[in-house]
């Protein structure tokens, strides 16, 4: 058998290049430009970011709204000495104890004209 036939170069059907050119045109026309693709991607990303932000910031609709004013603090909070000045109460007198060299020392209160100031003398 003639082995030349094995690797004989066959001619492709005519018109291949013209058909290829037409297909290139069709695809190019259907394909969005790079600029349009970038804009579309940017718009989509912005949309996703907006929806995410809204979902994160929005209060859950099925949970009851809790207002701070509707939940009064426990009564004992008002009795705390820290609230005395805030609530206009006069602080109850407290016994003063002074330690000098690890021993209790006697003190004498000195009178002042300012009722908010107390002065003691260590004896």
Interacting span for another protein (CB under 8 A) from 3-11, 60-68, 70-78, 113-121: 3-11
Least Cβ distance, residue 39 to another protein (angstroms): 19
3-class secondary structure, 120? strand
DSSP state of 7: G
Site string for another protein, 16-45 (x = CB under 8 A): xx-xxx-xxx-xx-----------------
Q: Which residues of 71-104 are buried (b: 16+ CB within 10 A; e: fewer)?
A: eeeeeeeeeeeeeeeeeeeeeeeeeeeeeeeeee
Among 10-18, 39-47, 84-92, 101-109, which window interacts with another protein (CB under 8 A)?
A: 10-18
Rg (CA), the chain: 45
List of residues contacting another protein (CB under 8 A): 1, 3-13, 16-17, 19-21, 23-25, 27-28
């Amino acid at each position: 058998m003639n082995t030349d036939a094995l690797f004989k170069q066959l001619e492709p059907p005519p018109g291949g290049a013209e058909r290829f050119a037409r297909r290139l045109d069709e695809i190019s026309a259907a394909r969005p430009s790079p600029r349009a693709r970038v804009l579309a991607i940017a718009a989509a990303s912005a949309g996703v970011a907006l929806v995410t932000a809204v979902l994160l910031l929005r209060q859950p609709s099925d949970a009851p709204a809790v207002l701070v004013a509707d939940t009064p603090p426990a009564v004992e909070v008002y009795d705390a000495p820290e609230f005395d000045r805030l609530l206009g109460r006069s602080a109850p007198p407290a016994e003063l104890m002074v330690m000098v060299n690890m021993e209790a020392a006697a003190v004498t209160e000195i009178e002042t004209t300012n009722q908010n100031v107390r002065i003691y003398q260590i004896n």
